[in-house]
Structure 1
């Protein structure tokens, strides 16, 4: 049982009292926010939020994000799909423009063109050749981060996914396909070929997973390295960035420009799931967030920081609820850490998600039942049974890996809660691990601080961009 009902943090109690007395932060004038921190829980739909709350604090508990005084719901469809992927959904937040699935920060005329491989040059490198033409396939749309740089703001991007993955890329890059990650990486390096000139002197803080998109190809040491032979980390260091690759080097880094690439997980280049992270070697999302705030706060003109809990999405794709919930809690802890660092009289904090997933609650379990456990009958507290006479878990997925079995597994003596590798049952088998799809439902948004009063109601994701710009004075 993982439920903890105590929520003794004084600021939480004060927040609850303030809400009860209708004394939420005042709606401030447009442009009041000197700083903006935009938290994005990738794939963090309402069920994931609720299940994570129950997992950590119990049914009546409160996540840090849920304690923020402003709330809204967000529609997430893309230009060509009811159910979006992360590229156009994040780009809608950063640009205010609807685009097609797989397209990053380009206008609606852009058609996704998957990159190809040149195996004659780099036999172990896939998706290495960028197929996006310079003209004739839409145009780039300015991002919030670029507009913040134009206003003289410091900027930062922090993620537990690859730093070139769709969500972080949509803050600093423009590309017709999210898989062109070698091309995405070079857009972040000032002065080099393929650099995004709208970034000026560059993004001040860049932290996330993997270095092979940033390092040159080497058959023995970096077989998935850059086919153009460039060492982007070295180029950034020459521009004054401090390179960090573990917790010790992050802690030792001065509060200046930082490029952080953390490879401990060795999981498709992403950082570790929170359940698997070695706390002595790999920083948590909260630790990276605090370091980024410290670095960016040196700017007297304010800053824009995007923080992504990227691996929530990956666990959900794998129908692995335990890792999804623990990564959501780690994301929530990063929000808590940020709130402890900033002055909300001049800082806007917004928390949301880019899309939903197909995870759902099952049955009528008794209050206090383990959210990762099997469904119970709330009257008898005995295991509930499906029509086949077998028990089932409270959390299930609408689709996911398969294939479908002729008969369901008997979960009576299976530890669905303690086993971090347990995969929840799926309604429609899609045939391969990690194949669970996104959901098309609305997601939640929470906000606090300077200018937060304008976030309310049901909003299109492109409208969120307009409200962020209004509060930030862009």
Structure 2
């Protein structure tokens, strides 16, 4: 046998072998799970890994096959807010800050207050931009089941970007109305409605009451009653969620605002005693959506990571990141990765950083050390400093710094030092740096290198044949 013949036979054998492998071509992913850690910048990922598993450990998200770096700038800002960044992932369109899943020319116009003092009056106009289709809507049009779950208000920017279109993210009462099949303001691109919706902020869905619901809807509508009439199970607690059957569910686990931080949920503070974990919500959503033989699209947001970082409260941010990572672990244990693409990313960074030269094994929430001596490191003023600090925030800087070694820097409520005082609690800003993306499953191969967030849309759309 000459060399030319032999090469030809080997090539034919290789081609035959390739035909027996999973194609992973366009449309190969039956299911899509899109995980979004709000504000989960690279430093938060690293600090969370060290906090939970040590320097050499690995988060569940870091076990996914591919890694990419994502650019997050918005249409009009160097540093994005959550609305246009999540919307870029969901639509492939760059839009202005505060705009939710609308065309690039949409101008953000904040809602006005009603007679009850709540900002329920949308100032969006029919001529201010046009809606652009989202991955969730495209999945619905293909006959797939759909879901959006979050630890924030269900009408918050990130979940809203999957199922609604609005000129300003704060028009949350109008965002809620877009989810109600057949109701006034319904987003008809949702067909018979998003199948599974879970989060907080029940007040946006229920009527105003001067005693019991002072932040309720001024229009008097009870959207939950309307959704129940359309076949939705309505849940207000973890137990009600667990008991839900059928194909449609809306779970709103806080009367107002977001779900509790993970630390507070576990401790039973506030409404935390009755709230499900993000992992439990994820498992329930997958169970329900998997009933659809055409597959599903599910968005899962760990939203309170962002809020803790705004408050320069690193411990709560790390705990919520671990809870988010646990939800990813739960999903991985339930799905078939030969037909499910999983994407994990963030919408933007924050200003938290890991500094100093601490010895390996030093607690990430502790004061920094000298890696050679393992003794406490000192700043120029002779005082220790914590490993985690923020570039800006609402924690006042004093002429003489407090000594962090005199307090428990690992306490739940400890607030890290900031470089620039912005004067208002919770005012730490987003960071403009790139974020990480982890992915696995059919169609995920192009999710590598440095990508714009709008590019992720096209890759996921192609992977799922949407």
**TM-score, normalised on structure 1?**
0.92
CA apart distance, 1:281: 2.1
Question: How far apart are the structure 2 equivalents of 1:245 and 1:387?
Answer: 52
User: Which residue, out of 207, 223, 244, partners 1:232?
Assistant: 223
1:95 partnered with 2:91:
yes
Alpha carbons 1:27, 1:451 under 8 Å: kept: no
Identify unmatched segments of 5+ residues in structure 1.
Answer: 1-24
Is the partner of 2:460 in helix, strand or coil?
helix
Question: How far apart are the structure 2 equivalents of 1:453 and 1:228?
Answer: 48
User: Which residues in structure 2 correspond to 1:219-298 (within 5 Å)?
Assistant: 219-263=210-254, 269-277=257-265, 278=268, 281-298=274-291
- Deviations 1:127-176 (Å, cap 9, x if unpaired)? 11000002x21111011111111111100001000000000000000000
Alpha carbons 2:278, 2:323 under 8 Å: kept: yes
CA apart distance, 1:465: 0.2
User: Which residue, out of 171, 178, 192, partners 2:169?
Assistant: 178
Question: How far apart are the structure 1 equivalents of 2:422 and 2:119?
Answer: 24
- Deviations 1:63-100 (Å, cap 9, x if unpaired)? 00001111101000000000000000000000000000
- Deviations 1:397-452 (Å, cap 9, x if unpaired)? 000004321111111221001x1000000000000110000000000000011222
Question: How far apart are the structure 1 equivalents of 2:396 and 2:406?
Answer: 22
Alpha carbons 1:255, 1:294 under 8 Å: kept: no
Alpha carbons 1:27, 1:453 under 8 Å: kept: no
CA apart distance, 1:26: 6.9
Higher helix share: 2
Alpha carbons 2:28, 2:464 under 8 Å: kept: yes
**Larger Rg: 1 or 2?**
2
Match in the other structure for 1:209: 200
User: Which residue, out of 415, 422, 446, partners 1:454?
Assistant: 446
Question: How far apart are the structure 1 equivalents of 2:334 and 2:236?
Answer: 24
Change (3 A) 1:385 1:306: same
User: Which residue, out of 34, 42, 49, partners 2:45?
Assistant: 49
Match in the other structure for 1:388: 381
- Count of aligned pairs between the two proteins: 441
Q: CA RMSD in A?
A: 1.1
Alpha carbons 2:37, 2:347 under 8 Å: kept: yes
Is the partner of 1:398 in helix, strand or coil?
strand
User: Which residue, out of 126, 147, 167, partners 2:158?
Assistant: 167
**TM-score, normalised on structure 2?**
0.93
Change (3 A) 1:27 1:361: farther
Question: How far apart are the structure 2 equivalents of 1:112 and 1:329?
Answer: 33
Q: Runs of 4 or more off by more than 6 Å in structure 1?
A: none
CA apart distance, 1:255: 4.4
CA apart distance, 1:462: 0.2
Question: How far apart are the structure 1 equivalents of 2:22 and 2:80?
Answer: 34
CA apart distance, 1:118: 2.1
User: Which residues in structure 2 correspond to 1:325-336 (within 5 Å)?
Assistant: 325-336=318-329
Match in the other structure for 2:9: none
CA apart distance, 1:280: 5.2
Alpha carbons 2:395, 2:417 under 8 Å: kept: no
Question: How far apart are the structure 1 equivalents of 2:377 and 2:401?
Answer: 15
1:105 partnered with 2:101:
yes
1:358 partnered with 2:351:
yes
1:437 partnered with 2:429:
yes
1:69 partnered with 2:65:
yes
CA apart distance, 1:27: 7.2
Is the partner of 1:412 in helix, strand or coil?
helix
1:468 partnered with 2:444:
no
- Deviations 1:189-224 (Å, cap 9, x if unpaired)? 011111111111100000001200000001001010
CA apart distance, 1:256: 1.9
Alpha carbons 1:80, 1:99 under 8 Å: kept: yes
Match in the other structure for 2:4: none
Alpha carbons 2:22, 2:338 under 8 Å: kept: no
Question: How far apart are the structure 2 equivalents of 1:280 and 1:176?
Answer: 36
Match in the other structure for 1:11: none
